[in-house]
A and B are shown apart, each in its own frame.
Chain A
Amino acid sequence: MNAFATPPRAKGQTLWEEMQARGVDRRDFVKFCAWMGAFLGLEASGVAQVVKALETKKRLPVVWLHFQECTCCSESFIRSSHPIVADILLDQVSLDYTETLQAAAGHQAEECLHKTMKEHRGEYLLMVEGSVPTADDGIHCVIAGRTALDIAREAADGAKAIIAWGNCACAGCVQAASPNPTSATPIDKVVTGKPVIKVQGCPPIAEVMAGVIVHLLTFDRIPQLDALGRPKAFYSRRVHDTCYRRPYYDAGLFVESFDDENARRGYCLYKMGCRGPTTYNACGTMRWNAGVSYPIQSGHGCIGCSEAKFWDNGPFYQRLASFPGFGIETTADTVGMAVGAATVAGAAAHAILTNIRKHHAIGEQAGESAADEAPPPAVDPHPEQRKED
């Protein structure tokens, strides 16, 4: 479990060999592979592929960069309930390069980074945690005298693929929330020409992070991604569609306030602003902390942390976001009601005006009376009307 207790290891070991060196027995290893196979949605035969890949493939060279973020992605990862991949990987990146966990510091750390980038050019996996600030020439995030923008571009250049960990690297998260003073930018907007896997969430679920890595190891290709670049295996369903409270939604039974009887009964949190219906993540199926719970199970709505701009789509306890430019409590409904009232008032005023200005045109006109036997001679149907200039 402890990522820092690294046993000595020979170069070029496979993951299975590394696990053995750490005292993982065969049974636990295969169990882990089965878990991962299930998380990835593989069929039973796929588990053998996972086992084989971890037995035979060499360790993955990894550069794990931290930019504008809170490290919660790393924290989530090392708390995985099936920590084998996290352990191995973090042991390894602690030797390659990762600001948070690396043993080296200063020039030594920089040397490690450049060694990895040089020796494994075109092979290493670039993992990015955090957004890249682009305002003021990127001076808001500077590591070893270089801007995050600079480092990201250099590291991406020789990378095989990029994994964007968490909402910061995928969509900018809280730093990119309005007014975004540092112009925090997701990684796929600052580097080009490399595949980016967006592992969304704030943070992502640990098992999802491990699953993505295992997928890359096993199949040696990018997992199937959705339209927003997230692995479909974990982000193809809405939290709402996998929520155990969904039957209450379909039955129209909702919590009206957090302290009411409905909340106690565990009704749907839709009206409390739950973002489950618009959020794609695996919380409903995998849950957190070894499947113990997830926000909705704990009685709080989803805040949509695996979706772009979720901080700006507030308040969290309102179904509708506040209407931009009209203050925090103003929703589309407030605006709509105001404009609607103005429209009705305008129509009423117009109706009054019509009766004043057009009174001569309303009702029976000359020559239209049924009493008039003779056909009207007038060519002009509105003889009373004056032409106004």
Chain B
Amino acid sequence: MFKRVYVWQLPVRFYHWLNALCILVLAVTGILIAHPPALSSASEASFSYWFGVNRFIHFATAYVFLFNFAFRIYWGFVGNQYSDWHNFLPFRRAQFREVGKVLRVDILQAVDKPVHAVGHNALAYFTYFAMFLVFVFQVVSGFAMYASMSDFWFPQLFAWAVPLFGGDFAIRQWHYLATWFFILFTVVHVYLVFYHDYVEGHGVMSSMVGGWKFLPKDEAPPAKPATPASGATAGATKSP
């Protein structure tokens, strides 16, 4: 009655976990930069450099985060139908209908007919797109602040953002505020993965490890999945 469907390709899974690790490291080091703990040893400054190292980790991880993100965008063009970029943008009325359905079924729990999306459901795709926008904001604001500390040409590409915000102070404030988005996102994201796995048992949680989901046979896509080129219209299966 259940059928195994290969949903998340290896590059997508790799992206997901590297991204999760980057966000964890960036959030922890970032919060440490904002709120350094009181280590009031009476030592000389020359014996210690932990805060400098902390900042170095933050900056180095930012590069990994950025290029990992860039890779995911690339994969949106060459990956399978579930990772295709069309899914993330609102093109079709059906996507909005699905959002409404997900809200009624999963959030308000007013309707009991489950939404069996093979990839993400439409609401999730849109949420991830909003998250991508926050990624872009964090990359731009972060590298803009970093530009004046670096001689490397790459961060200079973002220096234009400083006058846009009026100065480093404002940009730092927003960069910090956006960190809270990631914290809140993680709470909701992890909870919903538990929720879906618990209620539907399609293996959502393990799908990001092995790539496979389990779907009712009648709702699973045909054995030969559509080619990536046709992914635009095959984002999610429809519940009857």
Contact = CB atoms under 8 A, between A and B. Distances in A.
A310 B168 CA distance: 11
Interface size band for B: 35 or more
A306 B45 CA distance: 28
B154 interface: no
A385 B1 contact: no
A385 B45 contact: no
A321 B169 CA distance: 9
Contacts of A275: 169
A350 B107 contact: yes
A381 to B, nearest CB: 4
B188 A228 contact: no
Given A252-B51, A354-B109, A228 B167 contact: yes
B216 interface: yes
Interface in B111-158: 111-114, 148-149
Given A228-B162, A340-B183, A386 B112 contact: yes
Nearest to B53: A250
B67 interface: no
Contacts of A280: 148, 168
State the majority secondary structure of interface residues on A. loop
B60 interface: no
Contacts of A343: 184, 187-188
B221 to A, nearest CB: 15
Contacts of A238: 148, 168
Interface stretch (A23-31, A177-185, A356-364): A356-364
Contacts of B160: 227
A332 interface: yes
A254 B45 CA distance: 10
Interface string A308-327: 11100100000111000000
A11 to B, nearest CB: 42
Contact of B114 (A279, A307, A361, A368): A361
A65 B155 CA distance: 39
A256 interface: yes
A368 B201 CA distance: 12
Given A238-B148, A309-B166, A253 B43 contact: yes
A27 to B, nearest CB: 39
B173 interface: yes
Contacts of B219: 381
B199 A354 contact: yes
Contacts of B223: none
B239 to A, nearest CB: 11
B34 A385 contact: no
A381 B163 CA distance: 58
A105 B47 CA distance: 63
Interface string B43-78: 101111111101000000000000000000000000
Contacts of B159: 227
A211 interface: no
Contact of A358 (B107, B109, B149, B173): B109
Contacts of B198: 354, 362
B42 A381 contact: no
Given A261-B40, A354-B109, A250 B51 contact: yes
A14 to B, nearest CB: 38
Contact of B169 (A249, A256, A313): A313
A320 B170 CA distance: 10
Contacts of A236: 148
Contacts of B2: 381
A332 B51 contact: no
Contacts of B218: 379, 381
Contact of B180 (A248, A332, A353): A332
Interface of A: 227-228, 236-238, 241, 247-254, 256, 260-262, 265, 267, 270-271, 275, 277-280, 304, 307-310, 313, 319-321, 332, 335-336, 339-340, 343-344, 347, 350-351, 353-354, 357-358, 361-362, 367-368, 375-376, 378-379, 381-382, 385-388
30 contacts: A247-B45, A247-B46, A249-B51, A250-B49, A252-B37, A252-B50, A253-B40, A253-B48, A254-B38, A262-B40, A271-B36, A279-B169, A280-B168, A307-B167, A307-B169, A308-B166, A308-B167, A309-B170, A313-B173, A320-B176, A332-B180, A335-B180, A336-B184, A340-B183, A343-B187, A354-B109, A358-B199, A367-B1, A382-B114, A388-B110
Interface of B: 1-2, 34-43, 45-52, 54, 107, 109-114, 148-149, 159-160, 162-163, 166-170, 172-173, 176-177, 180, 183-184, 187-188, 191, 195, 198-200, 216-219
